[in-house]
Structures are given as structure tokens and as C-alpha cells.
Amino acid sequence: MLTVIVLSAVMVASCKKTPAPTVEIFATVNGYTVTFTPKVTDVDKYSWNFGDNQTSTESKPSHTYAVSGNYTVTLAVKGDGGSASAEKDITIEASFLEMLTGGTTATNGKTWVLDQTATPEIDGRGPVSSSMPVTTAPTDDFLLDYNLDAEYDNEYTFYADGNYSVNPVNGNVLAGATYSSIKGITQGEPAYDIEMCQASYAPSPGATWEMHSADLIVDAITDPNTTDIPPVHDNVTFTGKTWISITGAFFGILDFPTTQKFIIRDIASDKMHVALFLCGYGFGDDQDIMALPTNLIHLTFIPKTTK
């Protein structure tokens, strides 16, 4: 009887199965970095695939994606009882830097051109004020009405490292009429209705851009219809805006250096709405011309590849 009992116990022990592994993926997304904390049982080996050709064998890895997008993450596990796997979809939202420049992986930067399709209630002209109203809205292809349609092709390229370039595709650029007249670079007849014209422009190397979120304080003409010389002007403060400063070049409209700042009203990967400062007055002598922003020109830009 003792022998039978011992044999029975051995047979029961040998028939008992080792539990199979189980796995479930949990993740915390912080910008481009994702921290993974899987829930597993009976696991001793991990094999992660993050969906961007990057892998890991850590149990609780942290992974940083290079660009935004939707990624399917796979975790395969093994234990004494076998193997198991799980998947989880991860969405990485594009940062402001990536939307503007294409991100750190875009070696050629991201090139923007002026959209020929007007955006209702967003594009147009308005006074320089913190409320930024649009009082005069353009139509589609509005530059065509002023024989300036060639300037739709001009290219403005932002790089993630802060470099910047302007490419006047047809040799000229869109410019402020007052600036171009004073500088003697006007090409053709200025369109004084919109205070712009074609102007010659020779790009210089070494241009840069910088993003700001602090208050933007601009010395601007407070009454665009004034006839006073010098016109009445005062500081105007823009709060809660993201704005860009350009050094060594310009964006959108070539004008006095006082306009080498522009406000990004909103941005997505395929569209950017901006407010540009335009100087309608230039006064003083040739050695010391004082130019102040008179209007805000609200325009929409799109990536070159979508034009």
C-alpha cells in the first residue's frame, strides 16, 4: 500500500502543468516619450517592438519616438509554461517644432508657401491690437487681382536646429509698398490698396528663427488713418501668443526690420495661420528712417508638398 501511495503522488506531480504566461500592455505618453508598464504573470523574457523598427528586452522600457504618428507596439513574452503576446496602439501628437519644421528627422526642413485659397474669417487685414480683429477679408487668389500672383510660389523653409531660408522662386518677393519705395527695390506698380508690391530680393546665408511665448511688445501706429507726421504711436502688448522672430531674412512679406516678428495664430501639420506686421509709414531721412507697423496682415500658409 505504501508503494502504491508513493507512485500515485509521483504521477500526480508529473501531470501538473506549468502555468502559461499572460501579458497586457499599459503605457503613459509624455510628448514623444512613452513609458511601458506591462501586466504579466509567469514571465521571464520580454521582447518589445515599438512599431518604429526599434526594440527592447527590458521588462518596463521607456521609448522616445523621433516623429509623431500612430504606432502599434507589440510585446512577446516567454516563461516556463510557454509564450504569449499583446499589442497596443500608441498615438504621438506632433509638437509645435515638428509641425513648423518637420522635426529633427527632416534634414531638408519644412517649406511653406502662401495658400491661394483664402480662409474665411481668418485671412485679411486688421489694426495692430491685442484683439487682432480681421476687418478686410481677401478672396481666393487675391494676389492675382494685383498682378502679384507670382509671389504665391515663394518658399520659406524652417529647420529644427533654428536655421531658416527664403527662396524667391521667380526672382522677386512680396514686399511692403512703403518699404520697397524707400529702398528703391520696387518691381512694377505697387498695389497701394493692400500696401504691397513686388520687390527684388537677394537671400543671404545664415538666417535663423526663434520661437517665443513671452509677451510681444510692438511700438505701432495707433491710428492707421492718421495724417500726422510723425504719426501717433504707442506700445501694443500681445499676451498669450506664440510668435517667431527672424534674423537675417523675413517671412511672408519683406518689410522694415521692425516687422521681422510674426504671430502664429494656430498651426497644424498641413496649415499655418499667421499675423504679419506691415509698415504703412516710413518717415525720417535716409540715414535714420523710422518705420512702425500700421496693420496686421492675416494669411494662411501651407506646406509646399500640399500645394
Measured distance CA(307)–CA(115) in Å, rounded? 8
CB 50 within 8 A of CB 36: no
Per-residue pLDDT of 165-179, as tens digits, reads 999 999 999 999 989
pLDDT at 11: 45
Confidence band for 17, pLDDT divided at 50, 70 and 90? confident
- Kindly state the average pLDDT of the residues 89-101: 97
- Kindly state the average pLDDT of the residues 214-233: 83
pLDDT at 10: 44
Of 209-213, 265-269, 293-297, 303-307, the least confident: 303-307
Residue 168 phi/psi, 5-degree rounding, is -80, 90
- Mean pLDDT score across all residues of the chain: 90
Share of the chain above pLDDT 70, in %: 91
Residue 298, CA atoms < 13 Å, CB-side half-sphere: 24
pLDDT at 286: 56
pLDDT at 3: 47
- Kindly state the average pLDDT of the residues 192-203: 92
**Which three cell numbers, joined as nine digits, stand for 282?**
516710413
Convert 142-192 into a string of H (helix), E (strand) and C (coil): HHHHHCCHHHHHCEEEECCCCEEEEECCCCEEEEEHHHHHHHCCEEEEEEC
**Which three cell numbers, joined as nine digits, stand for 41?**
504573470
Residue 222: CB atoms within 10 A of its CB come to 16
Per-residue pLDDT of 240-277, as tens digits, reads 999 999 999 999 999 988 779 999 999 999 999 999 99
pLDDT at 285: 60
pLDDT at 162: 98
- Whether the model clears a pTM of 0.85, i.e. scores above it, the answer is yes
The answer to whether residue 223 scores a pLDDT higher than 50 is yes
